[in-house]
């Protein structure tokens, strides 16, 4: 089968790979679509994939084989053909964190979310098939398009952040950074009860997209300039609702500057949620992060949100199935073949703005490669 592997900084190759070998506790998933996300871009730039199968983790696919079922073929019959997406496993119940009673912070779940899956192969979703731990797949409900389903992973990240924020009825929300996660946070914050939502992003096309997806306003800031760049947002917030600033700010960029902007835009007693991460070397030069006094003087709560839990995936898929969470406007409706991964990544590095999220489709939807059809299992 074909798959894209990372060879080094800004170097990928489409290669022939061994078929993933079925193991107990694993399933083989045939990939239908896989989004290119920020983490993939980061791996491409550095030449380093944090964990096996992490290069291409925003995938949707179909189960083609189930391991460890012994003489119970009815289990295979039940699961083969199911449409699935990558999810988080349930809390393990065994790790120190679980045993101490903090199952919502299970170390195994966190490790899986950042790419560790002992049953995964060395390739991710930029390949025809992958092997994954059977505990970390989620069934895609009827009514969700298989391309849309590839957005379930970033949507789960956004859902986790919204759940962590405790955003509620009538809240005024600011979302800094209107990339995929930011746009999904805008939508989900609305579903959680926020009445006014403002997106902040330097890119006009993303501002437009944020408004199309239900934000009330969108403002530009370079996210590296001084506070004057956010003045339009400050003015808007002063005229809106209680006029005290945002109840909740989501920082979906993750630099010292974006976090500081969040603290400036939130009202006294409000909450800033760190969602996005930009690697240190990209923003260290700004040197203008927040200070303890800035938090204390206005009694601001800082929260962090990492990855997602299995219930976030369930929520997102439910909302997508009911057409309440719209993901189609976020991605390019024309999927690309595996051979395009390198060029797309290079294009995203050189000019990262102004294009929709690209989806990779290893084969036309609904077809199974000959290799797989002839495999006896």
Q: Total residues at the site for Zn ion (CB under 5 A)?
A: 5
Of 90 and 202, which has the nearer Cβ to Zn ion?
90
Sign of CA dihedral 23, 24, 26, 30: positive
| 92 touching Zn ion, by CB under 5 A | yes
Q: Which residue in the set 88, 98, 130, 159 belongs to the binding site for Zn ion (CB under 5 A)?
A: 98
Rounded Cα–Cα distance for residues 215 and 183 (Å): 9
Of 115 and 362, which has the nearer Cβ to Zn ion?
115
Stretch of residues binding Zn ion (CB under 5 A), selected from 95-103, 188-196, 300-308, 328-336: 95-103
Q: Which residue in the set 36, 106, 188, 237 belongs to the binding site for Zn ion (CB under 5 A)?
A: 106
Stretch of residues binding Zn ion (CB under 5 A), selected from 101-109, 115-123, 208-216, 254-262: 101-109
Tokens of 296: 């204390």
Question: Within the chain, what is the greatest distance between any pair of CA atoms?
Answer: 68
- C-alpha distances out from residue 151 to 98, 147, 154, 155, 220, Å: 29, 8, 6, 6, 25
Closest of 117, 241, 248 to residue 175, by C-alpha: 248
CB 133, min distance to Zn ion, A: 14
Binding flags for Zn ion, 358-377, as an x/- string (CB under 5 A): --------------------
The interface with Zn ion within residues 108-127 (CB under 5 A) comprises: 108
Find out whether 177 and 200 touch, Cβ atoms under 8 Å.
yes
CB 312, min distance to Zn ion, A: 17
Tokens of 219: 């403002």
CB 343, min distance to Zn ion, A: 41
Of 89 and 177, which has the nearer Cβ to Zn ion?
89
Task: Give DSSP secondary structure letters for 38-62.
Answer: HHHHHHHHHT--SSTT-SS-EEEEE
Q: What residues make contact with Zn ion under the rule CB under 5 A?
A: 92, 95, 98, 106, 108
């Amino acid at each position: 089968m074909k798959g894209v592997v990372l060879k080094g900084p800004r170097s990928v190759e489409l290669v022939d790979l061994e078929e993933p070998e079925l193991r107990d506790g694993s399933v083989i998933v045939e990939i239908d679509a896989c989004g290119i996300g920020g983490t993939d871009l980061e791996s491409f730039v550095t030449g380093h994939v944090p964990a096996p199968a992490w290069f291409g983790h925003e995938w949707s696919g179909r189960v083609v084989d189930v391991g460890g079922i012994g003489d119970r073929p009815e289990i295979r019959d039940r699961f083969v053909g199911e449409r699935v997406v990558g999810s988080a496993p349930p809390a393990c119940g065994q790790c120190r964190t679980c045993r101490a009673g903090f199952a919502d912070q299970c170390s195994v779940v966190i490790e899986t979310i950042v790419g560790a899956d002992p049953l995964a192969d060395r390739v991710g979703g930029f390949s025809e098939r992958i092997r994954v731990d059977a505990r970390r797949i989620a069934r895609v409900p009827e009514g969700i398009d298989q391309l849309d389903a590839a957005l379930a992973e970033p949507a789960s990240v956004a859902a986790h952040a919204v759940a962590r924020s405790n955003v509620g009825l009538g809240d005024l929300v600011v979302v800094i950074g209107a990339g995929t996660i930011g746009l999904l946070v805008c939508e989900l914050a609305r579903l959680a009860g926020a009445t006014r939502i403002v997106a902040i992003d330097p890119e006009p096309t993303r501002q437009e997209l944020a408004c199309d997806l239900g934000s009330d306003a969108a403002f530009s800031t370079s996210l590296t300039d001084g506070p004057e760049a956010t003045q339009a947002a400050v003015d808007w917030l002063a005229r809106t609702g209680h006029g005290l600033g945002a109840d909740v700010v989501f920082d979906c960029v993750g630099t010292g500057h974006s976090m500081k902007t969040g603290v400036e835009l939130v009202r006294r007693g409000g909450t800033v949620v760190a969602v996005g991460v930009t690697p240190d070397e990209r923003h260290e030069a700004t040197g203008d992060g927040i200070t303890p006094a800035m938090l204390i003087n206005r009694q601001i709560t800082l929260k962090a949100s990492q990855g997602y839990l299995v219930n976030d995936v369930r929520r997102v898929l439910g909302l997508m199935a009911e057409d309440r969470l719209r993901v189609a406007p976020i991605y390019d409706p024309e999927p690309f073949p595996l051979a395009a991964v390198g060029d797309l990544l290079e294009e995203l590095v050189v000019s990262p703005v102004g294009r929709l999220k690209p989806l990779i489709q290893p084969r036309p939807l609904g077809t199974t490669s000959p290799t797989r059809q002839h495999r006896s299992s």
